[in-house]
Chain A
Amino acid sequence: MKEKTEELRKKLSEMLAAAETDAAVEAIRVSFLGKKGAVAELMAELRNAADKKSAGQIINEFKTEAEQMISDAAERIKRAALDAEIRSAKKYNPDIRMNNVRGSYHPITLVSREVEAIFKSMGFTVEDYYEIVDDYKCFESLNIPKHHPARDMQDTYYLDNGQLLKTHTSAAQNAIIRKYGAPLRAIFPGRCFRNEATDACHENTFFQMEGIMIDENISISNLIYFMKTMLSEVFERDIKVRLRPGFFPFVEPGFELDINCLICGGEGCPSCKGSGWLELCPCGMIHPNVLAEGGIDTEKYTGFAFGLGLTRLAMMKYGVKDIRDFNSGNLKALSQFGSN
């Protein structure tokens, strides 16, 4: 029996080595391990064997061995087929881009989101407001009475129904103060309008972001802190700020906030006209009349407000030289602010 199984093993080994397909291996398996296969024949012969027990053991050992050899062969063929597929596979080139179109955000959206994220992280709520407001919202409630010279500074678009296009995001202050009351931390980005001729530096339609914080002990010292922190985050570096007196009827004291020039770092260069400082945003302590118009107890609460020129910020951040690009709809310009 031993000789027979040796002979079969040899034959099986040769046949499997020659087999190249799953089907060939399957045929070999049937011819050895099938119902009428070689192993079945040996089992039939077992009846005549002298030492049935040892002969049976030999056949079983061979059967186990044959099964292993066949499955190894099947595995070898499967691997060879995968190898062949991999070898013959088409080589992709990720550099080839047939469809190169990406969407893009408006630069104002990008800058606004950045500033919003910073203020949200400091507990400010983000508010939206109308673009069309009345005289009360835009001027009266902000301590700018009729005939006040401050109205001269802003050439306002007036509408035939008596309303106007808001000249500054401060026009939302009263409504938002009334909506939430004190204490309050809010920013409100928005589109503003001034009736002036457009050129590379002037637009009649532009974005600002107003921020207010009202609580029991808000101080000038806090205002400087928040402005410095926010601007350092926006420009991703430590920004030096300084306050200068600035006159805006809705704040008292009012300031112009300067930052150290981003181009020369404060040494003085053409961008900052040699002063080392860039005028960035008006701010101040909210005028008690404005708080009172918003229904706030001015003996109990104080607050600060600032107005950041988002359009100007976007110009600085991205190096946009012509402000008209923002509202041009020109995709050669705007598509550069891709999704990232």
Chain B
Amino acid sequence: MFLSMNWISDFVDLSGLDKIALIKNFTLATAEVEDIIVKGGDTHGVVAAKIESVEEHPSSKKLHLLKINDGRGILIDCVCGAPNVREGMHVAFAREGGMVSGREIGRATIAGYESCGMCCSEAELGISDDHSGLMEIDESIALGTDLKQVFDIDDIVFEVDNKSLTNRPDLWGHYGIAREFAAISGRSLKPLEKTDLSKYANLPEVEVNVKDKELVFRYCAMKVDSITSKTSPVNMRIRLYYCGSRAINLLADLTNYVMMELGQPMHAFDCRKVDHVEIQRFEEPFTFRTLDGIDRRMDSTNLMITSSDVPVAIAGVMGGDASKIEDDTDSLLLESATFDGVSVRKTSTKIGLRTDASMRYEKMLDPELCETATARLLLLLLSLDPGAKVRSAFTDRYVRKYPEIKIDIDKSYIDRYTGIEISDDRVVSILKSLGFGVEIRDKTFSVSVPSWRATKDVTIKADLVEEITRIYGYDNFEVKTSLSPLRPVKAERAQTDTSRIKDILVGAHRLHEVHSYIWSDIAKDKELGIETVPNVTVINAQTPDHRYLRVSMIPTLLAFVSENKGFADDFGIFEAGHVVEGLRKDGTADERRHLGVTLYSKVCGEEELFFRARDIIDDIFATVKHVLPEYVRCDASADYAHPGNTFEIVCGGKEMGTLSVLHPRVRNLLDKRASVAFFELDLEDFSAIAPKDIRYSEPSKFPGIDIDMTFAAPIADISVRALENAARRAGGDTLSDFRIHDIYSGADGDTVTVRLTFVSNERTLSKTEIQPYTDAIVAEYAKLGYTMRA
């Protein structure tokens, strides 16, 4: 939204103040100013002048040779290409040495003739986009008058992002903005000049029937006829143009002008076509042509203004083509209404038509404004067209009023909220400057909220604190730490676990952390021959390929691996993030935090890569939880996992992830010459594991005995855990350490060599002492199917 300082100055005297500084203060006190534009600074030396004579240029069809009288008593030669030149016309003339929109005006020779100065169009002067011809000046303006003295070409315009005003319906017009400037600058806001509507009370009312009481707060109407003026005065048109609008004709301009002044949208129906109205919704859908000439599909949710049940306007959005103001319109039915903001927003969103009016209604306008705006518009209309006649009483259907809001607030509450002391006088003067009523009782301020802030904006004490502090100025706040007592900080295990895992993966295993999306990418899955698992679905995904939330992180990581083949021959990536494993019983998404790790190598074989992945898992469990997980061979549930080499990661009897290598079919699509291993771990299950206590036992002062024993067993069937458990069962108290010393695949079958360490705290053990234990272990192993090799 663009705002004009000239316009604002109609309502608050800002003379003697630095306007640019004030606008910057507006950013700090009210809403962010995006841009400040100084208008007219690059135009000067433009005066009212008369074209005394017009001659055709001998060789140009377009150019004319003019004699200009600029009031200084001599005729000036000027070559001009405008199509609307005529003898006796009064024009805007830029004298030699002047400047027009930054362009210096001098003496020049144009098509063989000398030209001194320039006749200007409105577009050239920067006061409208009309460049169809010269700007015609009213003959009452004395020749030689600097046009800046009669027209408001000089102005400072600033832009405020509409979004930063969503909560302030009162700031959608210059009068509300002026109230802010008054509060910021400490000057007073002038009362708005308007017509006294009561003097028309004896006239008949307009026929207004509010059939839909649900969506209408207030509907006001008035009739005026005998309107003869067609165009708006220059200064009004300049203001509209500077504020981003376009002058159309007097009646349309006036409704726009009052809307931009007060924030209240108004609509003018051509009274020849609409002289009575109803406000209602229709059961059946229908087509309606808005005044921009577009046919729109309306339905039962859209509130319409009708006349004898024929739709004539979409309430709060736009009028209809059939009843719009035409060039020959001389009578009007004026609408000033408040509609339900949510309904207007829904309608405007649905039909894809957001207008200056609908934007304002969305913000919950103050219904009190309806009357003010009508009175203001009449004042302007009657002053510009004194012949116009009011033909109706002010017709007011006030369906629903907002309740008056009174808030009691203690000084101590304000002090506690701000952390500083703002004096009682300052509190009162700030609130009053913003239009609030204030009474003080003891240490309590009893505040009444003005109607323009009472539609939703200011309802509680904290809202008043904001009003007080923003005008007081946040720059004036003392910056202080809180004096809250110190308390121990609770650390979330999930947080610290994940952080430690990242350190292990990055620091010890040189993996790269990546981030991706919460949804699967069906197209990318397809490229790798992976069928995307249907899951909880995003209704409004940007592409259907992204509609399913991901069940697992691995497909995303595989796609990343595929895209990074050129990065290195050997690398690994991981992501710690969220996946969704379908729905819980209560219908909510079963969201889990997962760690996904994928290793890729063209250098080492699949088995080596597999063990690298296994080592990483072991490191994670051992470092963070002081335990090692078990790996249990299982069926591959994912179609990209290797059916023969997929393992559950189990800890404390709970399955909390899978370790696998890539299915050869997927590997061939990804990279035939590479190996890929991956695992996924449920971080919530992992975090639930209580780290195993570390138990210290004093190392023996006596040497231990290492016994190596070799057993025959197919490698794939070896269970280290079973071997260790059996050894612990049968090995007696002096068995201190068990480890796999060697696994060997030879011509006569596979073997596993275990190394058992026996140690006593009391003496050096002899082999004969431990013989019974090793015999028992061999016997246990035999039961498990491991036969001893000599």
Q: Determine the distance from Cα of A246 to Cα of B167 in the docked complex, in whole angstroms.
A: 10
Q: Determine the distance from Cα of A120 to Cα of B495 in the docked complex, in whole angstroms.
A: 12
- Residue pair A103, B477 in contact (C-beta under 8 Å): no
Residues in A with CB closer than 8 Å to B517 are: 205, 327
Q: Give residues of chain B (436-479) contacting chain A, Cβ–Cβ below 8 Å.
A: 460-463, 465-466, 469-470, 474-475, 477-479
B 404-441 binary contact with A (CB < 8 Å = 1; else 0): 00000000000011111000000000000000000000
- Residue pair B513, A132 in contact (C-beta under 8 Å): no
- Residue pair B419, A222 in contact (C-beta under 8 Å): yes
| The residue from B164, B167, B502, B541 contacting A157, defined by CB atoms under 8 A apart | B541
Residues in B with CB closer than 8 Å to A163 are: 536, 588-589
Q: Which residue of A lies closest to B168 (CB)?
A: A247
- Residue pair B491, A218 in contact (C-beta under 8 Å): no
For residue A134, CB closer than 8 A to chain B, the reply is yes
Q: Determine the distance from Cα of A162 to Cα of B538 in the docked complex, in whole angstroms.
A: 10
Residues in B with CB closer than 8 Å to A132 are: 536, 549, 578, 580, 588-589, 591
B 268-301 binary contact with A (CB < 8 Å = 1; else 0): 0000000000000000000000000000000000
- Residue pair A103, B510 in contact (C-beta under 8 Å): yes
Q: Give residues of chain B (574-617) contacting chain A, Cβ–Cβ below 8 Å.
A: 577-578, 580, 583, 587-589, 591, 593
| The residue from B346, B419, B588 contacting A221, defined by CB atoms under 8 A apart | B419
Q: Determine the distance from Cα of A162 to Cα of B587 in the docked complex, in whole angstroms.
A: 9
For residue A101, CB closer than 8 A to chain B, the reply is yes
Q: Give residues of chain B (104-145) contacting chain A, Cβ–Cβ below 8 Å.
A: none
Residues in A with CB closer than 8 Å to B485 are: 183
- Residue pair A113, B499 in contact (C-beta under 8 Å): yes
For residue A293, CB closer than 8 A to chain B, the reply is no
For residue A5, CB closer than 8 A to chain B, the reply is no
| The residue from B163, B560, B583 contacting A329, defined by CB atoms under 8 A apart | B560
- Residue pair A219, B481 in contact (C-beta under 8 Å): no
Specify the main secondary structure of chain A where it touches its partner: mixed
**If the complex has contacts A125-B489, A242-B28, are A217 and B416 also in contact, measured as CB distance less than 8 A?**
yes
- Residue pair B516, A221 in contact (C-beta under 8 Å): no
| The residue from A102, A108, A221, A254 contacting B479, defined by CB atoms under 8 A apart | A221
Residues in A with CB closer than 8 Å to B515 are: 106, 108, 205, 326-327, 329
Residues in B with CB closer than 8 Å to A331 are: 512, 514, 564, 567-568, 571, 573
Of A153, A185, A220, A327, chain B has the most CB atoms within 10 Å of the CB of A220
- Residue pair B518, A191 in contact (C-beta under 8 Å): yes
Of B29-37, B44-52, B640-648, the one contacting chain A is B29-37
Closest Cβ–Cβ distance, residue B26 to chain A (whole Å):
10
Residues in B with CB closer than 8 Å to A285 are: 417, 462, 465
For residue B202, CB closer than 8 A to chain A, the reply is no
B 662-703 binary contact with A (CB < 8 Å = 1; else 0): 000000000000000000000000000000000000000000
| The residue from A103, A162, A197, A225 contacting B506, defined by CB atoms under 8 A apart | A103
- Residue pair A220, B474 in contact (C-beta under 8 Å): yes
Residues in A with CB closer than 8 Å to B587 are: 161-162
For residue A38, CB closer than 8 A to chain B, the reply is no
| The residue from B489, B511, B567, B583 contacting A103, defined by CB atoms under 8 A apart | B511
- Residue pair A224, B477 in contact (C-beta under 8 Å): yes
- Residue pair A215, B482 in contact (C-beta under 8 Å): yes
| The residue from A105, A160, A218, A245 contacting B30, defined by CB atoms under 8 A apart | A245
Residues in A with CB closer than 8 Å to B31 are: 245
Closest Cβ–Cβ distance, residue A254 to chain B (whole Å):
8
For residue A87, CB closer than 8 A to chain B, the reply is no
| The residue from B166, B168, B506, B591 contacting A131, defined by CB atoms under 8 A apart | B591
Residues in B with CB closer than 8 Å to A279 are: 32
Residues in A with CB closer than 8 Å to B72 are: none
Closest Cβ–Cβ distance, residue A273 to chain B (whole Å):
9
**If the complex has contacts A163-B588, A253-B470, are A103 and B507 also in contact, measured as CB distance less than 8 A?**
yes
For residue A124, CB closer than 8 A to chain B, the reply is yes
Of A43-51, A89-97, A264-272, A332-340, the one contacting chain B is A332-340
- Residue pair A161, B568 in contact (C-beta under 8 Å): no
Closest Cβ–Cβ distance, residue A236 to chain B (whole Å):
19
Interface positions of B (Cβ within 8 A of A): 27-32, 163-164, 166-168, 342, 345-346, 362-363, 416-420, 460-463, 465-466, 469-470, 474-475, 477-487, 489-492, 494-495, 499, 502, 505-507, 509-518, 536-542, 549, 556, 559-560, 563-564, 567-568, 570-571, 573, 577-578, 580, 583, 587-589, 591, 593
Contact sample, A vs B, 27 pairs, CB 8 Å cutoff: A103-B506, A104-B512, A106-B515, A128-B492, A131-B518, A150-B166, A152-B345, A158-B539, A159-B538, A160-B536, A160-B539, A161-B536, A161-B589, A191-B578, A195-B542, A204-B542, A219-B416, A221-B419, A222-B480, A225-B482, A226-B481, A243-B477, A253-B469, A285-B465, A329-B514, A331-B512, A335-B567
Interface positions of A (Cβ within 8 A of B): 101-106, 108-109, 113, 120, 123-128, 130-132, 134, 147, 149-150, 152-153, 157-163, 165, 183, 185, 191, 193, 195, 197, 204-205, 213, 215-222, 224-226, 228-229, 242-247, 252-256, 279, 285, 287-289, 302, 326-327, 329-332, 334-335, 339
Name the 4 nearest CB pairs between A and B, nearest first: A219-B419, A221-B419, A253-B466, A329-B560
Given contacts A219-B480, A331-B567, 4 further A-B contacts (CB under 8 A): A103-B512, A125-B492, A220-B417, A334-B512
